Chain A
Amino acid sequence: MTAQIPEKLLLDGETLALCSEPLGHYFAFSGEYPRIMVEHCTALWRGYVGTWEIRDDRLYLLAIDAQFQDGSPARLVDLFPGHPDRVFAHWFTGTLRCPRGGTLRYVHMGYGSVLEEDLLLHIDRGVLTRREVRVNGKAEAHAPRGYGPAAFTTFPAKPAASQGDQE
């Protein structure tokens, strides 16, 4: 397995790497697994990258970067009809993990790498109830900063179908 590309979380004007997958919970709970699970990259087995935001202590999904199997882009409104810009993640109860700082230990698997600290956001039915910072250590000066996979393999993606193809 390869280290996975994290989700994105906008919090207090900062964009953080989010090593949790609340959208996966939605798919599991709704029983609907849309065909966006196209595996184009070994660092993205889930097939999408979601952009999330904590606003007024609520967890929202703002966008999704993904493709349907025919190559056309999957938008938020395709998954959540009537909600093109923002979706309240009321189905999520748990802890979101946002690693920050320099890399202490790189693990080329899942979200296994350890950075200097983890910002833990405790969520109850989509509402932020508590923030916690877990300090893991101090990285060396030359250690890479920020979370991300060091290497991965990509597979050619299908081009989006043209209008003529769709007819």
Chain B
Amino acid sequence: MSAWILGYIALGVGLLLVIRWAERRLPDEFSEEFIHFTLYPGEKPAQVRILEALVTLSEVLGIVLYLPWILVWSVYKNWKARRAPRNESIGPPEPRFRATPDNLADLVTVEEVERRECIDDPLGAVPPLPFGHLHKTWERFRADLLPGDELWSFASPSEKGQWRFRTVRGYAVRREGVIVAEMVADGG
């Protein structure tokens, strides 16, 4: 699929290059030559005619091949956005683990984590559950644990990303020696 998309994009780029190349070889719009050919089109040399035809053909091809897809794509995006439920997630970014073998701290159990991560607030502004407002995230994370998985706490320093977290702290799953999942408890 991605090869088709790349090919499609490459074709578009190719057309643009052809147009650019041909236009550079045509007389400048404000040149005497251009004005002369406009007044006396019969005197246009064959080379200019071919280049002009090439530009026109490439432009038409570009419009025919690409404009409908842009329209279809924008209509589809709009349609999809309208159909989506209000609270539907747009989707998280590609998984990237902040936990690395170097920053794993303690091997822990689910029970230990749930005890550690109980959050209390005197004003009751947090659910009385492990990880508070992130409890649903924890439930999903816990549900994916398999027998034999190792659960590790971790703290990762300095990450350059969308949010430029200085540090994040959380829990990672190590399966057969490889980190396969993580959950961030807090960071900034």
Contacts and interface: CB of A to CB of B under 8 A. Distances in A.
A28 B133 contact: no
A58 B87 CA distance: 28
Interface in A10-31: 21-22, 24-26, 28-31
Nearest to A33: B90
Which 4 A-B pairs rank lowest in CB-CB distance, beginning with the nearest?
A94-B188, A88-B125, A31-B92, A33-B90
Interface string A81-109: 01101111011111100000000000000
Interface of A: 21-22, 24-26, 28-35, 37, 55-56, 58, 60, 68-70, 72, 78, 80, 82-83, 85-88, 90-95, 123, 125-126
Interface residues of B, number: 34
A131 B79 CA distance: 48
Contacts, number: 113
A90 B187 contact: no
Interface string B149-188: 0000000000000110111110000000000000011111
B125 to A, nearest CB: 4
A37 B186 contact: no
Given A29-B134, A56-B122, A86-B123, A91 B86 contact: no
Contacts of B132: 88, 90-91
